[in-house]
């Protein structure tokens, strides 16, 4: 006898039906595999040291003093490319405030059809700081399971919030910035 199994529809299909972002119970995930919880919330950001696109380095020491929105992403990732215009908005708005900053961490060493970050940023016209994690050192240290993932790290280096995706099924630019600003206002 064949066992009946149910596979929930993808998040974007459900969202289109209901016409609003989906809110799930803790630990619940849809068939698309996006995590809805993150085991590292409330913990100190792990130690890492990455080269930055355009020069310089970025490490966990850089979290000190300002609330930081960190996006783990890749040019090879379709969901990341769908979020790209929204990510550029988040970066511009966060980096123009006194309490927030934004940095992307490009991971997995694959650069899609562009072949490089330089070609991508020139074509798209985006400009924001990006650390390069080609060997997935930071990705693994942060125990990432999905890209794009957005972390909000407080001024003391504590991982205070996370979400996946900004666009379809995601929380959007304003909600992410509101969360980050609320964390930045904590004593």
- 29 three-state secondary structure: coil
pTM: predicted TM-score of the whole model, two decimal places: 0.83
Output the 3-class SS for 101-145.
EEEEEEECCCCHHHCCHHHHHHHHCCCCCEEEECCCHHHHHCCCC
Per the document, the length of the chain is 187
Residue 16: pLDDT band with limits 50, 70, 90: very low
Which whole-number Å values give the CA distances from 22 to 13, 129, 171, in the listed order? 11, 30, 9
Task: Return the closest-CA partner of residue 121 out of 104, 102, 96, 138.
Answer: 104
Structural domains in the chain, CATH included, are 35-184 (3.40.30.10)
Which tokens go with 6? 């149910």
Hunting for tokens 């693994």 — which residue is that? 140
pLDDT at 20: 39
Q: What is the pLDDT of residues 34-93, one digit of tens each?
A: 888 999 999 999 999 999 999 999 999 999 999 999 999 999 999 999 999 999 999 999
What confidence category does residue 33 fall into, taking pLDDT thresholds of 50, 70 and 90? confident
């Amino acid at each position: 006898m064949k066992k009946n199994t149910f596979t929930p529809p993808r998040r974007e299909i459900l969202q289109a039906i209901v016409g609003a972002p989906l809110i799930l119970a803790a630990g619940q995930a849809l068939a698309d595999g996006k995590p809805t919880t993150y085991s590292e919330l409330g913990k100190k950001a792990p130690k890492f040291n990455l080269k930055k696109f355009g020069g310089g380095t970025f490490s966990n020491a850089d979290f000190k003093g300002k609330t930081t929105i960190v996006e783990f992403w890749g040019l090879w990732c379709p969901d990341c490319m769908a979020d790209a215009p929204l990510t550029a908005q988040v970066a511009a708005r966060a980096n123009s405030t006194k309490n927030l900053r934004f940095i992307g961490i490009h991971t997995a060493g694959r650069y899609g059809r562009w072949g490089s970050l330089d070609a991508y940023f020139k074509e798209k016209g985006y400009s924001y700081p990006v650390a390069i994690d080609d060997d997935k050192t930071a990705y693994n240290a942060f125990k990432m399971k999905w890209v794009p993932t957005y972390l909000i790290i407080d001024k003391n280096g504590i991982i205070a919030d996370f979400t996946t995706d900004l666009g379809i099924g995601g929380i959007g630019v304003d909600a992410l910035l509101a969360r980050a600003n609320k964390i930045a206002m904590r004593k």
